[in-house]
Homo-oligomer: A and B are copies of this chain.
Amino acid sequence: MIPSPGPVTGPFSGRTLAGLGRDLREGRTSAAELTALALDAIAAHDPGLNAFVTVDAAGAAEAARRADAELAAGEDRGPLHGMPVAVKDLIMIAGLPVTMGSRHFAGHVPGTDAACVALLRRAGAVVVGTTTTHEFAYGPTGDRSAGGPARNPWDPSRMTGGSSAGSGAAVAAGLVPLALGTDTGGSVRIPAALCGVSGFKPAYGAIPADGVFPLSRTLDHVGVLAATPEDCLLAYGCLAVAPPPAASAPAVAWLEPESLFPGDPRVTAAARAAAGDVRAEVRMPAEVAELFRETYLAIQSCETAAVHAGRLAAAPGLFDPEVLDRLRLAAELPGWRYVRALEARRALEEHAEALFGGHDVLAMPAVPILAPPIGAREVTAGGARVQVRAALLAMTSPWNVLGRPALTVPAGTVDGLPVGLQLVARPGGEAALFAAARQVRGGRCGPAVRGGGPA
């Protein structure tokens, strides 16, 4: 696929990891050059985007030098070797400030890398800095963070979506070719969709979450954002506990998004067009959609309140006011509803199986609305007023409840704003997902636009 850049165009716009890797190995560029490009682009563009919280110019330059030295010595760590990568600001990086987007962790510097960061480094990647997260990842809008909202490269007055807000913006603006995010209800896929890039949330636990600040332990997934699904797959192969085998010609069914949420018909049409020929069109029964929503809300609320109960009691004023209000509500949810939700989760597995039927992959819009203005909590979609948070989470959160692999790929634009097509697989169906991404119209992968150096 040729990634279509938004209005902000950085050095990695229109590039893929595969293409950059070829350039690197064929001597047309170096890790040091790629890193310098990233750092320069961040300096130039980030003031308008607020994608980054902390930039580690010295550490990145040093890592890049090491990567170049290793390659020169014949040591090749694979597809991420020498690649500049950004990391969401709640994934621990040894020696760098990691703040969870919160005043509670202002100046907090972890002593140890998160497992996924250690895997990045083992793969030769160059960590250039941390990206804006919604405070404690507790919000899909990406616009409540101690350092201010991340801004959408397609229209800086609009939200990126969250909570991996800065990771979406940084990749979309071409500042880095790859970013890590976390996804508890859609927090990788929502910013990927609203920013017009690819985002992959693998199966629960497939990328280790050790050293990631928890939002909701049984829903939290680590994921990746990149221009194309192929780049996501390359990165996933370096981070996964057990990378997937190849697969071909999966059977794709279209899941009618209106059966989950009343969204913007233009978004549905764009995603449906990107999905192209499908084997079937299926609907989620209304009571199943409702059970998914209730189950997600109960599990997420109780687990999140458990994480923050101490801070909520000791220093509530340090939270963003909206985050504080939501946490207080979450802390009041009675435990029996959590118990019921854990039971419902098992029932929902069966409902999902019925929904998949004989198909390998379900396709649907990743987000049923266009990127709303920063701060908006209600927008008009299809002539009706809809709640922004509910809309953002509607298509993505069911697959966190079930821990299923899900990928969003760019599916064109509506009114100059990106639309994402989400593909969801069965447990163990990661390969089918990427095969489907190649198959569907919008996600077709191909060579990078430019064969030459990125400079």
Contact = CB atoms under 8 A, between A and B. Distances in A.
Interface in A293-307: 298, 301-306
Q: How large is the interface on A (under 10, 10 to 19, 20 to 34, 35 or more residues)?
A: 20 to 34
A332 B332 CA distance: 8
Q: State how many copies of this chain the complex holds.
A: 2
Contacts of A340: 306, 309
A299 to B, nearest CB: 9
Given A304-B336, A306-B335, 6 more contacts: A302-B335, A302-B338, A305-B335, A306-B343, A334-B334, A338-B339
A101 to B, nearest CB: 21
A334 B332 CA distance: 5
A303 B342 CA distance: 11
Contacts of A301: 335
Nearest to A330: B336
A331 interface: yes
Contact of A334 (B305, B339, B343): B305
Interface-centre pick from A303, A330, A331, A336 (highest chain B CB count, 10 A) = A336
Interface string A326-366: 00001111111111100100000000000000000000000
Contacts of A336: 302-306, 309, 330-331, 333
Interface of A: 298, 301-306, 309, 330-340, 343
Contacts of A334: 302, 305, 331-335
Contacts of A305: 334-336, 339
A377 to B, nearest CB: 24
What is the interface of chain A mostly: helix, strand, loop, or mixed?
A: helix
Contacts of A332: 334
Contacts of A303: 336, 339
A303 B334 CA distance: 11
A373 to B, nearest CB: 33
A151 to B, nearest CB: 33
A43 B152 CA distance: 81
Contacts of A339: 302-303, 305-306, 338
20 contacts: A298-B335, A301-B335, A302-B334, A302-B336, A302-B338, A302-B339, A305-B334, A306-B336, A306-B340, A309-B336, A331-B334, A331-B336, A333-B334, A333-B335, A333-B336, A335-B335, A335-B337, A335-B338, A338-B338, A338-B339
A309 B343 CA distance: 14
A337 B333 CA distance: 10
A440 B333 CA distance: 48
Contacts of A298: 335
Contacts of A309: 336, 340
A213 to B, nearest CB: 16
A48 to B, nearest CB: 39
Nearest to A335: B302
A308 to B, nearest CB: 8
A304 B334 CA distance: 12
A389 to B, nearest CB: 19
Interface-centre pick from A305, A306, A330, A335 (highest chain B CB count, 10 A) = A335
Interface-centre pick from A304, A309, A334 (highest chain B CB count, 10 A) = A334
A378 to B, nearest CB: 27
A314 to B, nearest CB: 15
Contacts of A333: 334-336
- Which 6 A/B pairs are nearest by Cβ-Cβ distance? A302-B335, A305-B336, A306-B339, A335-B338, A306-B336, A335-B335
A331 B333 CA distance: 10
A306 B338 CA distance: 8
A15 to B, nearest CB: 43
A40 B335 CA distance: 47
A333 B336 CA distance: 8
A298 B333 CA distance: 14
Nearest to A304: B336
Nearest to A216: B339
A342 to B, nearest CB: 9
A368 to B, nearest CB: 28
A339 B343 CA distance: 14
A237 B334 CA distance: 40
A326 to B, nearest CB: 13
